[in-house]
Amino acid sequence: MEKNLHQVREIEQLTPETFLIHLDRQNFEFKPGQYVILRNPETGEGREYSIYSSTREDRLSFLVREIKDGDFSRFLKHLKPGSSLMVEGPRGFFILDEQSLNGHPLLFIATGTGISPFHSFVNSYDKLNYEVLHGVHFADEAYGRSAFAEDRFCLCTSREDKGDYFGRVSYYLKEKPVDKELICYLCGNSDMIEEVTNMLETHGISPENIRTEVFF
C-alpha cells in the first residue's frame, strides 16, 4: 500500500464544525469514490476519509467534520499550510461501473460528509445521468452543492425547513418511490444505509443495484 507525505495547502472552514483540508497531490492516482487513510506522520494515528476532489485537480481534498471528542479531527483542523500529512492509499471499491459511466440513471444518496465520493464523481465525469439526495441537519451543511446540477440535487434538512425537503432522506423516499431500474449509490451512517437499502428493495430495486459505503 502506497504511503507518502503530502503538504497541506489550505484548511478551508465551511461551517463551525466542518472543513476541507487541501493537500498537494504530487503523483497520487485514484478512482473517484475511493478513500485513503490520513495519518499523523509523527504518531501514526490515522482515520479513513473519502476523496472529495476530482481526478482533474492538482490537489487532494477531504471533507472533515470535527468530532466533539475526536482528537484526530481536531489535529487536522489545526494543521498549518506547509505542514506534512501521511496519505495511505487509495483504497476501496465504491466506484462507478461501466454501466453507470455510460448514461444509466443513477441515484446518489448521502448523509452529512458522505457527499464526498459523489462530489468526486460529478467533478471527474461529465456525462453522468444522476440525481442526488443529500440528508443533513441544517441547510448550511449542503457541502459542495454548487458542483451538482441544480435540477438534479435535493437537500433534505431534518432540523429546519430551509432545504428543498423538510425531513430525512428516508421520509423523502417514502413519499416519492423511485424507478426500479435505477442504480443506487449510498454513502453515510450505517442506520441510514440499512433503512434506505430496505426501502429501495421494497421499491423493486435489485440488491446488486444498491452499492453502499458506510461512514462511521
Question: For the segment 197-209, what is each residue's pLDDT rounded down to a tens digit?
Answer: 999 999 999 999 9
The CATH class of the 98-214 domain is alpha beta
Largest CA distance in the chain: 51
At 144, the amino acid letter reads G
The confidence score (pLDDT) of residue 177 equals 86
Domain boundaries, the chain: 3-91, 98-214
Mean pLDDT for the chain overall: 96
Q: Is a pLDDT exceeding 70 seen at residue 216?
A: no
Query: Predicted confidence band at 69 (pLDDT cuts at 50, 70, 90)?
Result: confident
The torsion angles phi and psi of 42, rounded to 5 degrees, stand at -90, -40
Q: Which residue has the cell 435489485?
A: 206
For residue 60, the 8-state DSSP code is E
Query: Predicted confidence band at 2 (pLDDT cuts at 50, 70, 90)?
Result: confident
CATH 2.40.30.10 applies to domain 3-91: yes
Q: Are 132 and 156 in contact (CB under 8 A)?
A: no
- CA-to-CA distance for 69 and 130, rounded, in angstroms? 36
C-alpha cell at 112: 452529512
